[in-house]
Structure 1
Amino acid sequence: MDNSHEPRPTGRTVVVTGGTRGVGAGIARAFAEAGADVVTCARRPPEVPVKGVEFRPVDLRDPRAVRAFFAALPRVDVLVNNAGGTPYRRLTDADAERHARVIELNLVAPLTASLAAYEQLKRSRGSVVMVGSVSGGRPSPGSAAYGAAKAGLDSLARSMAVEWAPEVRVNTLVVGMVRTELAHLHYGGDDGIAEVSRTVPLGRLAEPADVGTAAVFLASDAAAYISGASLLVHGGGERPAFLDAATVNKEA
């Protein structure tokens, strides 16, 4: 990436892993609308294709397949490591192997993809955007392995930013609750989503486009001096529970 400080990634090749739905589709759409050439990859094609985005199938947990995928691309300017996720599962409800697969998808796969793309990113003086989570910075009951993986992802990104400088910038989006097509599975229907939204200082869940806009910024030359950073995209965070539990200053 040059030093012209042009904020839009026009003409650049952007790879978004897991960019077929939800947050990933929002990120892919944001880059496409900004003028980038966008390629998404996942095991299965999108049910609803994103306009202007090319899909290529790949299992991100297969290092050989990941290396072949990147080798087939003529260039890579931006890698967005978005693929991940986990079902709600308490620690004692599954064996260690199943929890390890969550860590593999959310931590090992981004490392695999970043290493596979490194030489192309170095040549283009590009950037990596990790899609992290607030679960990596606070207790995550019901998704402990996921939270641990996201904490590791943030640490990985900061170390990567030092090792790969100055040719490649690496940053993390620390994402809070997002209203995707699967939000009802996490929060319930519209009433549940409305109740959860009231716990966010900005009064709503993020839209995938909110995360996409932040990703475009971190990958652009407007962020040319930002590396090793964690950008919070969480609507102001979470209101501390003790504020609602305290009895002082409450009306009788």
Structure 2
Amino acid sequence: MELNGRVVVVTGGTRGVGAGIARSFAQAGADVVVCARRPPEVPSPPGRFVELDVRDGDAVRHFFAALPRLDVLVNNAGGAPCRLLADASPERHARVVELNLLAPLTVSLAAYDHLRRARGSIVMIGSVSGGRPSPGTAAYGAAKAGLENLARSMAVEWAPHVRVNTLVVGMVRTERSHLHYGDEDGVAAVARTVPLGRLAEPSDVGAAAVFLASDAAAYISGASLPVHGGGERPAFLDAATAREET
């Protein structure tokens, strides 16, 4: 799965999952360009950093027009604060959808000519939230569901020149895990709900992204690859076990 000399753009690649993806591509020999709204945090990811807000269509088009070449695009930028639907305005929810769905569309369209010439690929970073109820992040879950569908449509429209796939990512341990899961005991408790017994590392997501972008996946397009450690144990099983014990 070597990518020696190929140019890879990772959006939102300065921390967390994005930084892990950028490191994985660099380790595979790629020339990595990381773009985000803010400069990298320490330790910074490898490659060149470009300040870019992916919601700014004009800036996005200018950025890609200035690139001499592009082989792989990883649409990673995204996220959302935890906020119940009734506790925020429609405008706030719309901004979440803009970042997680419309921005990847804008970026992909801006990158299309480069990728078509290179017969390259796009990797969308989706989420398990797009395939199940997502209380507290409903707009985010809806956007990720749309992103997965968008990738499938792109894979058909842009074939055979550009491959498009999605990583459906579960819980990942990053430098900000405490904001979602609490202290180390909280992280451990959450990890026990995962069949593989741990949260993903950013490098796990990065390795999967490298695979989908590599020649090893040359016949894979329009696919959704779960990276979630086996998913979530069905709640009814625990409920039934607890009932039997009582």
TM-score, with structure 2 as normaliser: 0.98
Residue 75 (structure 1) aligns with: 69
Match of 1:4 in 2: none
1:250 deviation in Å?
4.1
Gaps of 5+ in 1: 1-6
Q: How does 1:18-33 map to 2 (within 5 A)?
A: 18-33=12-27
Deviation of 1:48 after TM superposition, in Å, equals 1.8
Paired position in structure 1 for 2:177: 183
Could you tell me how far 1:235 is from its partner in structure 2?
Answer: 0.1
Q: 1:51 to 1:180 in 2, by over 3 A?
A: closer
Structure 1 contact 40–55 (Cα < 8 Å) conserved? yes
> Is the contact between residue 15 and residue 45 of structure 2 (CA under 8 Å) also seen in structure 1?
no
- 1:184 counterpart letter in structure 2: H
Which amino acid is the alignment partner of residue 91 of structure 1? L
**Alpha-carbon contact 1:132-1:174 (below 8 Å) kept:** yes
Counterpart of 2:154 (choices 156, 160, 164) is 160
1:107 and 2:75 equivalent? no
Partner of 1:206: 200
- CA distance 1:183–1:51, shift in 2 (3 Å): closer
Structure 2 CA distance for partners of 1:63 and 1:204, relative to 1, 3 Å = same
Contact 2:22 2:32 in 1 (8 A): yes
CA offset digits 1:80-105 (Å, max 9, x no partner): 00000000000011000000000000
Cα deviation per residue 1:6-34 (whole Å; 9 max; x = unaligned)? x2111000000000000000000000011
Q: Distance in 2 between matches of 1:69 and 1:29?
A: 22
Q: 1:249 to 1:87 in 2, by over 3 A?
A: closer
Are 2:33 and 1:36 aligned?
no
**247 and 180 in structure 1: CA distance in 2 versus 1, 3 angstrom threshold:** closer
Matches within 5 A, 1:14-163: 14-50=8-44, 52-163=46-157
Q: Secondary structure of 1:246's match?
A: helix
Distance 1:247 1:108 in 2: 43
After TM superposition, give the deviation of residue 148 of structure 1 in Å.
0.2
| Corresponding residue for residue 220 of structure 1 | 214
2:245 & 2:87 partners in 1: Cα distance? 43
Residues 14, 45 of structure 2: 8 Å contact kept: no
Contact 1:135 1:150 in 2 (8 A): yes
Question: How much has 1:50 moved relative to structure 2?
Answer: 3.5
Q: Distance in 1 between matches of 2:43 and 2:245?
A: 52
RMSD over aligned Cα, in angstroms? 1.2
Deviation at 1:52, TM superposition (A): 3.4
Whole-angstrom distance in 2 between the partners of 1:102 and 1:233 = 23
Percent identity among equivalent residues? 78
Separation in structure 2 between the aligned mates of residue 131 and residue 9 of structure 1, nearest angstrom: 19
- Find the aligned partners of 1:129 and 1:113 in 2 and give their Cα distance: 12
TM-score scaled by structure 1? 0.95
1:174 equivalent in alignment to 2:168: yes
Give structure 1 regions of 4+ aligned residues with deviation exceeding 2 angstroms.
49-52, 247-252
User: Deviation of residue 78 (structure 1)?
Assistant: 0.1
Number of aligned pairs? 246
